[in-house]
């Protein structure tokens, strides 16, 4: 769970690291690259553009995961717009101003990541989050019936495991799959609180 909470930070960090280590492609960061000993070397060569764009997608993906957990839409919207600006600069803009769009998109992603981090930290917990054994967990999980595909969003308990769950549409009695401790771990969009915190389930 810790990794999924930091995907946007990893993506943004990788984005700027790629730029710093490739000063030929990103003149704005040439000084920073020189300061750490890379001079005008092109570390990633022809792969720079693709690595850079992959980092953009990782950042947006991380912010989308954060949105699913905390419902903070503003950082996600800013990240999507910034990402589109970067892809537009790379693939559609043939003018001398394409680098301005590129840098604007980069700093837009940085702002979105910082805004998301500060929002989540200030909020502490989302509407359906709580603290379990000293760690934040998401209580809302959407169960999907494997027989009929019906989805139902439920609030998971923190004091017991749910071994059985009846689908309200087809009346199938759901049971945990082998290796899982509860129906949320098997059929839910979010696993149960003990698993989220890295502990053994009840």
> What percent of the chain is modeled with pLDDT above 90?
37
Do 72 and 147 lie in one domain? The reply is no
- Higher model confidence: residue 1 or residue 115? 115
16-49 residue pLDDT tens:
877 776 666 676 766 655 555 555 555 556 777 8
Q: Which of 83, 87, 90 is nearest to 107 (CA)?
A: 83
- Is residue 202 one of the residues assigned to a domain? no
146-182 residue pLDDT tens:
999 999 999 999 888 899 999 999 999 999 999 899 9
Instruction: Note the pLDDT of residue 192.
Output: 92
Do 13 and 32 lie in one domain? The reply is yes
- Nearest 10 degrees: CA dihedral of 173, 195, 190, 129? 120
61-76 residue pLDDT tens:
988 888 877 667 889 9
The two structure tokens encoding residue 28: 């704005």
Do 117 and 152 lie in one domain? The reply is no
Do 10 and 77 lie in one domain? The reply is yes
pTM attached to this predicted model = 0.54
- Is residue 201 one of the residues assigned to a domain? no
Do 119 and 137 lie in one domain? The reply is no
Domain boundary among 69, 96, 123: 123
Q: How far is CA 36 from CA 16, 29, 31, 52, in A?
A: 14, 11, 9, 20
Q: Which residue segment(s) compose the domain that 175 sits in? A: 129-196
Q: Dihedral of CA 104/90/55/28: which sign?
A: negative
- Is residue 88 one of the residues assigned to a domain? yes
Instruction: Note the pLDDT of residue 22.
Output: 67
Do 52 and 14 lie in one domain? The reply is yes
Task: Provide the number of structural domains found in the chain.
Answer: 2
Domain boundary among 68, 88, 123: 123
Domain boundary among 123, 149, 176: 123
Question: What DSSP character marks residue 176?
Answer: P
Report d(CA 50, CA 54) in Å as an integer. Answer: 6
């Amino acid at each position: 769970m810790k990794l999924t909470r930091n995907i946007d930070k990893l993506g943004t960090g990788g984005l700027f690291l790629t730029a710093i280590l490739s000063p030929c492609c990103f003149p704005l960061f040439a000084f920073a690259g020189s300061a750490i000993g890379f001079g005008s070397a092109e570390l990633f060569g022809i792969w720079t553009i693709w690595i850079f764009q992959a980092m953009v997608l990782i950042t947006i993906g991380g912010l989308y995961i954060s949105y699913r957990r905390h419902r903070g839409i503003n950082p996600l919207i800013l990240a999507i717009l910034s990402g589109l600006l970067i892809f537009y600069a790379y693939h559609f803009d043939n003018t001398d101003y394409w680098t301005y769009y590129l840098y604007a998109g980069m700093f837009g992603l940085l702002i979105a990541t910082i805004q998301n981090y500060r929002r989540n930290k200030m909020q502490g917990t989302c509407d359906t989050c709580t603290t379990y054994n000293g760690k934040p967990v998401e209580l809302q999980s959407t169960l999907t019936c494997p027989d009929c595909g019906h989805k139902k969003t439920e609030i998971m308990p923190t004091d017991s495991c749910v071994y059985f769950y009846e689908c309200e549409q087809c009346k199938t009695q759901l049971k945990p799959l082998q290796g899982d401790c509860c129906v949320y771990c098997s059929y839910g969009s979010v696993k149960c609180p003990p698993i989220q915190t890295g502990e053994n389930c009840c």
